[in-house]
């Protein structure tokens, strides 16, 4: 369609489009519903995957949660409250459950950093599946990480979600306390593993720090800004 023909539509068509449910509104609510439905209401931990038709995953994969997804889930609760998909009280309840799990347990941390894959009901470290036999590749070899790593990326999304909730529920002393505990416990200096400025990708209790470092453009902007701003374990400004 040429530009002048498009402009000629005008009036009634534009009004009809404005009145119709927005594609973005529909996608937003569906995205929110994922986090609402796939987050354990007791621990506040979000599953890393689900099926569009609502059928359950096999038992060995059904309760695999993700720290990063949980961070996005915290923010989704705030969006849901703002858009009227849940009440503010419902959002607070779910957020509070999540922050308690990460600030006080059962989710384990190492120097304030969290594991990527965790059981959404118990908070225990896991891999992408609970069944090691299911981790076998077609060539008969096993995946290198039957248990997940302490993840800088996933932990960052969790911290960002916690701080966003603290701002959204400003004046809520309990949420503020839990969010601060999560953020201030993160040891950015430790995750440098001797490098003057750069963070490692993570750490494994079995093998130590991962070799790769965050040195190329990605989500690292959030990591380094949070690290530089830390009141307790700050990165150098040169990072």
Average pLDDT over residues 182-201: 98
Q: State the chain's mean pLDDT as an integer.
A: 88
* Residue 165: closest CA among 101, 237, 71, 239: 71
Q: Name every residue whose Cβ is closer than 8 Å to that of residue 175 and which is 6 or more positions away in sequence.
A: 92, 95, 96, 99, 165, 166, 169
The answer, yes or no, to whether residue 132 has pLDDT greater than 60, is no
The answer, yes or no, to whether residue 120 has pLDDT greater than 90, is yes
Strand order in the sheet with 150-151: 150-151, 202-204, 208-209
Q: Angle of helix 88-104 relative to helix 67-83, nearest 10 degrees?
A: 160
What is the pLDDT at residue 40?
97
The answer, yes or no, to whether residue 4 has pLDDT greater than 70, is no
Average pLDDT over residues 224-232: 98
- Between CA 97 and CA 159 the distance in angstroms is 15
pLDDT digits (tens, 9 = 90+) for 50-77: 888 888 877 778 899 999 999 999 999 9
Rg (CA), the chain: 21
The answer, yes or no, to whether residue 172 has pLDDT greater than 70, is yes
What is the pLDDT at residue 102?
98
Which domains, and CATH codes, for the chain? Answer: 21-188 (1.50.10.140)
């Amino acid at each position: 369609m040429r530009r002048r023909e498009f402009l000629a539509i005008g009036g009634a068509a534009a009004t009809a489009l404005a009145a119709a449910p927005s594609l973005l509104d529909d996608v937003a609510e569906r995205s929110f519903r994922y986090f609402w439905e796939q987050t354990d209401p007791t621990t506040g931990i979000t599953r890393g995957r689900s099926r569009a038709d609502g059928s359950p995953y096999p038992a060995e994969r059904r309760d695999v949660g993700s720290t990063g997804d949980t961070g996005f889930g915290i923010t989704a609760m705030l969006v849901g409250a703002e858009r009227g998909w849940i009440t503010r009280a419902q959002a607070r309840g779910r957020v509070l459950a999540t922050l308690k799990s990460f600030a006080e347990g059962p989710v384990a941390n190492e120097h304030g950093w969290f594991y990527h894959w965790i059981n959404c009901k118990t908070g225990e470290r896991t891999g992408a599946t609970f069944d090691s036999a299911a981790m076998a590749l077609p060539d008969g070899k096993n995946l290198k990480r039957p248990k997940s790593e302490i993840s800088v990326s996933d932990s960052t999304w969790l911290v960002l979600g916690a701080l966003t909730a603290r701002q959204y529920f400003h004046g809520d002393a309990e949420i503020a306390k839990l969010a601060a505990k999560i953020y201030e416990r993160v040891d950015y200096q430790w995750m440098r593993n001797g490098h003057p400025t750069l963070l490692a990708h993570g750490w494994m209790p079995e093998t130590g720090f991962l070799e790769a470092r965050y040195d190329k453009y990605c989500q690292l902007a959030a990591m380094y800004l949070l690290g530089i701003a830390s009141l307790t374990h700050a990165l150098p400004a040169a990072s």
